[in-house]
Structure formats: C-alpha cells, structure tokens
Amino acid sequence: MDRRKLVVGNWKMNGMRAHLDEVEAIGRVAAQHPAVEVGLCLPATLIMAGSERRGAAFIGAQNCHMDISGAYTGSLSAEMLCEAGASWVITGHSERREARGETNEDIAAKSAAAHRVGMKVILCVGETIEVRDAGRAEDVVSQQLLASLPEGAAADWLAVAYEPIWAIGTGRIPTMEAVASMHAALRAALATRIGAEADKVRILYGGSMNGDNAADLMALADVDGGLVGGASLSAAKFAPIIEAADKRMKAAA
Ligand SMILES: O=C(CO)COP(=O)(O)O
C-alpha cells in the first residue's frame, strides 16, 4: 500500500511573529521534498500570517470547536480556522483530553465539524504509562480510537496519530517492536469500522520523535509519518525528520 508519508509539526503554545521565519524555512524544506506531505499546526494567532509564508507546507490548527458558531467565549470554530488558512486540525491531543477533559465523543464531534468545512483531521490517541506497564496499551488505545472516530472516516480527510503520553516531551520512546505492534493493532481496529479503507489511512507516530530516531520509526510498516512537537520548532531540527521520511518514500518506490 502506497501511503504518502505525512510529517506534521505541532507547535503547541509556542511561537510569536518572530518565529515566522522558521515557518518559511520549513516551507522551503517541504518544497525540496515533494514526496512527503509536510505541515505545521500553529497556535491560532499565527495561522493567518503563517499561511502567507508556508511555502510547500500546509498550515493546521491544534483544536477546534464542535459547533459552527455560538456563545462559546474564547473558542474558535473549524470554519474560522479554515478561513484563516488552516487546512488541517489536530483533534484529541492528550494535552487536551487530559487537561481540558475532552471526551471521545467531543473528539469525534470536533473531527466531524472540521470535515464538514473541508478540513483534514489528525486524530490523536495514546496511553498513559500505567496502562503501558499493565500490558493493556493496545486494547486501550484501539478502543480509544474507535470511540473517537468520526462517522464516515476516510483516508482522504483523516489521519491518526499514536502518541504514547509518557513519550511526549520526555525523550523516551517505546521500542520499535512496541510501535510496530501498536500501529498494526490500530490499523486492524480501523478495519473493523471502515474495512479496506483502513489500509489507506495514515497512522503517524508522535512522542519525542527527532532527527536521530525518525528513520527507524518511519521504516516500520505501519508508521506513515510523524506528529512532532519540540523538534518541529526550528527548520534545523525538523528538516532531518522530513528527510528521513523522504528517504523512506524513495526506498519504497
Ligand atoms: O505531543 C507531541 C506532538 O503532538 C509530541 O511532542 P514532542 O515531539 O515534543 O515529544
């Protein structure tokens, strides 16, 4: 199955106008590696300016509301983010599931809302260290994925990111065997819901991905790219990850 590698930076609550030079530099790196789909999910304040300097990278948002409009102080709808220049949105990041109490149902609704306005979605799932240590990671994360999967999910608008919570920002990653096994389990779980379409859905790995481990991670059969936090904040750190994805695309061609 030819799945185009997808490498996306999640800037989280980082980035001021001064960092738009990095957006531009990453956009140039993306242009040098057209085999890879590259994007940056920016803080909402930078989406409009970032989308003017994005080069060959797409710009995404990090969250959206599930409703179109209304009395939701401080929230942004998918339509607003899309109009500002975001073509993708992250839903279900653990930093929102945990700290903001987002439920699987909320995440399915947000993902559907984004799809309705023509945006693409990166739906995040991942386990705590307690669940991993108890040997229940694959069951728990597969269930989380199915419970937060929006109606009509299809590969042309939905990607999944497996992000073990204990690997985010810690410099620790699961073993390659554990990542391979989880990604295969998630694809199998998807197939129970969407059948053969599951083969086309890109499943990204996220959590301490960097220039040193990206090549090994992206060589795994069901790892179709990365969702990258810290190492996406500068072109210098992000470029080696994009290059690793490009090499895999060429090796597979
Ligand atoms: O949460 C992440 C991306 O969404 C991963 O963050 P780090 O790459 O900084 O570990």
The ipTM is 0.99
Q: pLDDT at position 111, please? A: 98
Q: What is the mean pLDDT of residues 136-141?
A: 98
Distance 232 CA to ligand 1 centre (A): 9
> Contact 190/145 with Cβ under 8 angstroms?
yes
> Is the confidence at residue 1, as pLDDT, over 70?
no
At residue 253, the pLDDT reads 79
Q: Is the CB of 214 under 6 A from ligand 1?
A: no
Question: Of 3.30.420.40, 1.10.8.60, 3.20.20.70, 3.40.50.1360, which CATH number belongs to 6-252?
Answer: 3.20.20.70
Per-residue pLDDT, 170: 98
Integer angstrom CA distances of residue 197 from 55, 107, 151, 217: 30, 21, 13, 23
pLDDT digits (tens, 9 = 90+) for 85-109: 999 999 999 999 988 899 999 999 9
Q: Is 33 labeled as catalytic in the residue annotation? A: no
* Domains in the chain: boundaries: 6-252
Q: What integer is the mean pLDDT of 73-86? A: 98
Q: Whose CA is nearest to atom 8 of ligand 1?
A: 229
For residue 100, the model assigns a pLDDT of 86
Structure tokens at 244: 């690793």
The answer to whether residues 129 and 166 touch, using CB atoms and an 8 Å cutoff, is yes
Cα of 189 vs centre of ligand 1, distance in Å, is 24
pLDDT digits (tens, 9 = 90+) for 161-193: 999 999 999 999 999 999 999 999 999 999 999
Q: What percent of the chain has pLDDT over 70?
A: 100
Does the CB atom of residue 168 touch ligand 1 within 6 A? Answer: yes
Strands (E), 26-150: 37-41, 58-61, 88-91, 120-125
- Residue 83 — pLDDT band, cuts 50, 70, 90? very high
Please enumerate, by residue number, every residue annotated as part of a binding site for substrate.
10-12, 169, 208, 229-230
Q: What per-residue confidence (pLDDT) applies to 189?
A: 98
